[in-house]
Amino acid sequence: MDDRRDFPASDLSQLVGSRLCHDLVNPISAISNGLELLALSGTAPSPELELIGDAVKDALARIRFFRIAFGAARPGETLSARELREVLGGIYGAGRLEVDWQVAGDLPRRDAKLAFLMLNVVETAFPLGGTLTIRQDGTAWKLDGTGRKLSVDDPCWQALATPGIVAAPPPAKVQFALLTQEVEARDGALETRIDIDALGLSMRIDLP
Protein backbone atom coordinates (compact mmCIF):
# COMPACT_ATOMS: atom_id res chain seq x y z
CA MET A 1 0.00 0.00 0.00
CA ASP A 2 1.39 3.41 -1.01
CA ASP A 3 0.27 6.13 1.42
CA ARG A 4 2.16 8.89 -0.40
CA ARG A 5 -0.28 9.64 -3.20
CA ASP A 6 -2.87 12.40 -2.92
CA PHE A 7 -1.42 13.63 0.36
CA PRO A 8 -0.21 17.21 0.96
CA ALA A 9 3.14 17.90 2.58
CA SER A 10 1.36 19.60 5.50
CA ASP A 11 0.15 16.17 6.60
CA LEU A 12 3.58 14.57 6.77
CA SER A 13 2.96 13.54 10.39
CA GLN A 14 0.27 11.13 9.19
CA LEU A 15 2.67 9.65 6.65
CA VAL A 16 5.23 9.22 9.41
CA GLY A 17 2.60 7.40 11.47
CA SER A 18 1.83 5.07 8.57
CA ARG A 19 5.53 4.44 7.90
CA LEU A 20 6.35 3.60 11.52
CA CYS A 21 3.42 1.23 11.85
CA HIS A 22 4.20 -0.43 8.52
CA ASP A 23 7.86 -0.97 9.38
CA LEU A 24 7.19 -2.27 12.88
CA VAL A 25 4.69 -4.92 11.80
CA ASN A 26 7.27 -7.13 10.06
CA PRO A 27 9.76 -7.66 12.92
CA ILE A 28 7.00 -8.11 15.49
CA SER A 29 5.21 -10.59 13.23
CA ALA A 30 8.53 -12.44 12.89
CA ILE A 31 8.68 -12.83 16.68
CA SER A 32 5.13 -14.20 16.61
CA ASN A 33 6.07 -16.68 13.88
CA GLY A 34 9.14 -17.71 15.88
CA LEU A 35 6.97 -18.51 18.89
CA GLU A 36 4.71 -20.66 16.71
CA LEU A 37 7.74 -22.56 15.38
CA LEU A 38 8.95 -23.18 18.92
CA ALA A 39 5.56 -24.62 19.81
CA LEU A 40 5.57 -26.86 16.70
CA SER A 41 9.07 -28.09 17.51
CA GLY A 42 7.88 -29.46 20.83
CA THR A 43 9.21 -26.74 23.12
CA ALA A 44 7.31 -27.00 26.38
CA PRO A 45 5.06 -24.06 27.27
CA SER A 46 6.47 -21.78 29.95
CA PRO A 47 5.47 -18.56 31.72
CA GLU A 48 8.28 -16.79 29.88
CA LEU A 49 7.02 -17.81 26.42
CA GLU A 50 3.46 -16.97 27.40
CA LEU A 51 4.58 -13.51 28.51
CA ILE A 52 6.36 -12.94 25.20
CA GLY A 53 3.33 -14.16 23.26
CA ASP A 54 0.95 -11.84 25.10
CA ALA A 55 3.30 -8.88 24.55
CA VAL A 56 3.51 -9.62 20.81
CA LYS A 57 -0.29 -9.81 20.47
CA ASP A 58 -0.68 -6.53 22.35
CA ALA A 59 1.96 -4.80 20.19
CA LEU A 60 0.36 -5.97 16.93
CA ALA A 61 -3.08 -4.86 18.12
CA ARG A 62 -1.78 -1.41 19.02
CA ILE A 63 0.03 -1.02 15.71
CA ARG A 64 -3.13 -1.85 13.74
CA PHE A 65 -5.16 0.61 15.83
CA PHE A 66 -2.57 3.39 15.62
CA ARG A 67 -2.15 3.03 11.87
CA ILE A 68 -5.84 3.79 11.43
CA ALA A 69 -5.98 6.53 14.09
CA PHE A 70 -2.64 8.25 13.41
CA GLY A 71 -1.80 7.21 9.87
CA ALA A 72 -2.68 8.48 6.42
CA ALA A 73 -6.27 8.24 5.18
CA ARG A 74 -6.54 8.72 1.43
CA PRO A 75 -9.81 9.70 -0.29
CA GLY A 76 -11.77 6.71 -1.54
CA GLU A 77 -10.06 4.17 0.72
CA THR A 78 -12.35 1.99 2.85
CA LEU A 79 -12.01 -0.47 5.72
CA SER A 80 -14.25 -3.50 6.06
CA ALA A 81 -16.57 -3.98 9.02
CA ARG A 82 -14.76 -7.22 9.82
CA GLU A 83 -11.33 -5.56 9.96
CA LEU A 84 -12.62 -2.71 12.13
CA ARG A 85 -14.11 -5.14 14.64
CA GLU A 86 -10.92 -7.24 14.64
CA VAL A 87 -8.80 -4.18 15.39
CA LEU A 88 -11.11 -3.02 18.18
CA GLY A 89 -11.32 -6.52 19.64
CA GLY A 90 -7.54 -6.79 19.66
CA ILE A 91 -6.96 -3.62 21.63
CA TYR A 92 -10.07 -3.49 23.83
CA GLY A 93 -11.18 -7.13 23.96
CA ALA A 94 -9.40 -8.14 27.17
CA GLY A 95 -8.97 -4.78 28.91
CA ARG A 96 -10.91 -2.83 31.47
CA LEU A 97 -12.58 -0.78 28.75
CA GLU A 98 -15.40 -2.27 26.68
CA VAL A 99 -16.23 -0.76 23.30
CA ASP A 100 -19.77 -1.12 21.98
CA TRP A 101 -19.26 -0.51 18.25
CA GLN A 102 -22.73 0.31 16.91
CA VAL A 103 -21.60 1.13 13.39
CA ALA A 104 -22.84 -1.13 10.60
CA GLY A 105 -20.95 -1.98 7.45
CA ASP A 106 -17.70 -0.83 5.91
CA LEU A 107 -16.37 2.67 6.49
CA PRO A 108 -14.32 5.19 4.57
CA ARG A 109 -10.87 5.09 6.14
CA ARG A 110 -11.13 8.76 7.10
CA ASP A 111 -14.33 8.11 9.07
CA ALA A 112 -12.67 5.18 10.80
CA LYS A 113 -9.74 7.45 11.64
CA LEU A 114 -12.10 9.98 13.23
CA ALA A 115 -13.93 7.31 15.22
CA PHE A 116 -10.69 5.73 16.49
CA LEU A 117 -9.33 9.12 17.54
CA MET A 118 -12.56 9.74 19.47
CA LEU A 119 -12.15 6.43 21.27
CA ASN A 120 -8.48 7.12 21.97
CA VAL A 121 -9.36 10.49 23.50
CA VAL A 122 -12.40 9.49 25.55
CA GLU A 123 -10.76 6.38 27.01
CA THR A 124 -8.36 8.67 28.93
CA ALA A 125 -11.32 9.92 30.98
CA PHE A 126 -11.94 6.45 32.44
CA PRO A 127 -8.72 5.25 34.13
CA LEU A 128 -10.50 2.45 35.99
CA GLY A 129 -12.33 1.18 32.94
CA GLY A 130 -15.86 1.49 31.67
CA THR A 131 -17.98 1.24 28.54
CA LEU A 132 -17.63 3.36 25.41
CA THR A 133 -20.55 3.28 23.00
CA ILE A 134 -19.94 4.77 19.56
CA ARG A 135 -22.42 5.17 16.74
CA GLN A 136 -23.06 7.14 13.58
CA ASP A 137 -26.19 9.27 13.21
CA GLY A 138 -26.35 10.60 9.68
CA THR A 139 -23.30 12.84 9.30
CA ALA A 140 -22.73 12.98 13.06
CA TRP A 141 -20.54 10.75 15.21
CA LYS A 142 -21.58 10.15 18.82
CA LEU A 143 -19.64 8.53 21.64
CA ASP A 144 -21.05 7.96 25.13
CA GLY A 145 -18.79 6.78 27.95
CA THR A 146 -19.47 5.66 31.52
CA GLY A 147 -17.14 4.22 34.13
CA ARG A 148 -16.28 3.80 37.80
CA LYS A 149 -14.18 6.96 37.81
CA LEU A 150 -14.25 10.07 35.62
CA SER A 151 -10.99 12.00 35.16
CA VAL A 152 -11.25 15.15 33.04
CA ASP A 153 -8.92 17.51 34.92
CA ASP A 154 -6.19 17.28 32.29
CA PRO A 155 -5.60 20.60 30.46
CA CYS A 156 -6.07 18.70 27.19
CA TRP A 157 -9.78 18.50 27.90
CA GLN A 158 -10.01 22.27 28.34
CA ALA A 159 -8.14 22.80 25.07
CA LEU A 160 -10.45 20.36 23.31
CA ALA A 161 -13.47 22.41 24.39
CA THR A 162 -12.01 25.63 22.94
CA PRO A 163 -12.68 25.94 19.19
CA GLY A 164 -9.76 27.06 17.09
CA ILE A 165 -7.10 26.04 19.60
CA VAL A 166 -4.79 23.10 18.99
CA ALA A 167 -2.71 22.67 22.13
CA ALA A 168 0.69 21.01 22.22
CA PRO A 169 -0.03 18.00 24.45
CA PRO A 170 2.50 15.59 25.95
CA PRO A 171 3.28 12.58 23.73
CA ALA A 172 0.88 10.33 25.66
CA LYS A 173 -1.99 12.70 24.83
CA VAL A 174 -1.18 13.51 21.20
CA GLN A 175 -4.59 12.12 20.19
CA PHE A 176 -6.25 15.27 21.56
CA ALA A 177 -4.41 17.51 19.10
CA LEU A 178 -4.88 15.05 16.24
CA LEU A 179 -8.64 14.84 16.85
CA THR A 180 -8.92 18.65 16.88
CA GLN A 181 -6.97 18.90 13.63
CA GLU A 182 -9.04 16.20 11.95
CA VAL A 183 -12.33 17.86 12.93
CA GLU A 184 -11.14 21.26 11.71
CA ALA A 185 -9.79 19.79 8.46
CA ARG A 186 -13.25 18.41 7.76
CA ASP A 187 -15.04 21.64 8.76
CA GLY A 188 -16.74 19.78 11.58
CA ALA A 189 -17.94 20.85 15.00
CA LEU A 190 -17.00 19.04 18.19
CA GLU A 191 -19.04 19.12 21.39
CA THR A 192 -18.26 17.42 24.69
CA ARG A 193 -20.62 17.07 27.64
CA ILE A 194 -19.44 15.92 31.04
CA ASP A 195 -21.68 14.60 33.80
CA ILE A 196 -19.59 14.38 36.95
CA ASP A 197 -22.42 12.98 39.09
CA ALA A 198 -23.22 10.16 36.67
CA LEU A 199 -19.53 9.51 35.89
CA GLY A 200 -20.35 9.93 32.23
CA LEU A 201 -19.03 11.77 29.20
CA SER A 202 -20.53 12.32 25.75
CA MET A 203 -18.78 13.51 22.62
CA ARG A 204 -20.48 14.53 19.39
CA ILE A 205 -18.86 15.51 16.11
CA ASP A 206 -21.05 16.99 13.38
CA LEU A 207 -19.67 16.89 9.84
CA PRO A 208 -20.97 18.93 6.89
Distant-in-sequence, close-in-space partners of 179: CB < 8 Å, separation ≥ 6: 114, 117, 118, 120, 121, 160, 190
131 and 174 part of one domain? yes
141 and 191 part of one domain? yes
The pLDDT assigned to 142 comes to: 97
Distant-in-sequence, close-in-space partners of 178: CB < 8 Å, separation ≥ 6: 69, 70, 117
Across 39-43, 164-168, 191-195, which has the greatest mean pLDDT? 191-195
Average pLDDT over residues 38-65: 84
The pLDDT assigned to 167 comes to: 60
Query: Does the structure show a pLDDT above 90 at 18?
Result: no
The pLDDT assigned to 64 comes to: 92
93 and 193 part of one domain? yes
Distance between CA atoms of residues 181 and 101, nearest Å: 23
Name the residue range of residue 4's domain. Answer: 1-72
28 and 115 part of one domain? no
Average pLDDT over residues 154-163: 78
pLDDT, the chain, mean:
86
Q: Which of 72, 96, 117 is the last residue of a domain?
A: 72
20 and 98 part of one domain? no
For residue range 68-127, what is the model confidence (pLDDT) as tens digits? 999 888 778 999 999 999 999 999 987 899 999 999 999 999 999 999 999 999 999 999
**Helix (H) or strand (E) run with residue 140 in it:** strand 140-147
Average pLDDT over residues 56-74: 89
Q: Which residues of 119-153 are buried (b: 16+ CB within 10 A; e: fewer)?
A: bbbbbbbbeeebebebeeeeeebbbbbbbeebebe
Which of 149, 146, 183 is CA-nearest to residue 164?
183
CA angle 67, 164, 103 (to 5 degrees): 40
Distance between CA atoms of residues 71 and 16, nearest Å: 7
Q: Which of 13, 41, 72 is the last residue of a domain?
A: 72
Kindly report the backbone phi and psi dihedral angles of residue 90, in degrees, each rounded to the nearest multiple of 5, phi listed first. -70, -35
102 and 126 part of one domain? yes
Distant-in-sequence, close-in-space partners of 94: CB < 8 Å, separation ≥ 6: none
The pLDDT assigned to 157 comes to: 86
The pLDDT assigned to 164 comes to: 58
62 and 149 part of one domain? no
The pLDDT assigned to 1 comes to: 42
Could you give the residue ranges of the DSSP H alpha helices within the chain?
Answer: 12-40, 47-70, 81-92, 109-122, 155-160, 174-185
109 and 202 part of one domain? yes
The total domain count for the chain is: 2
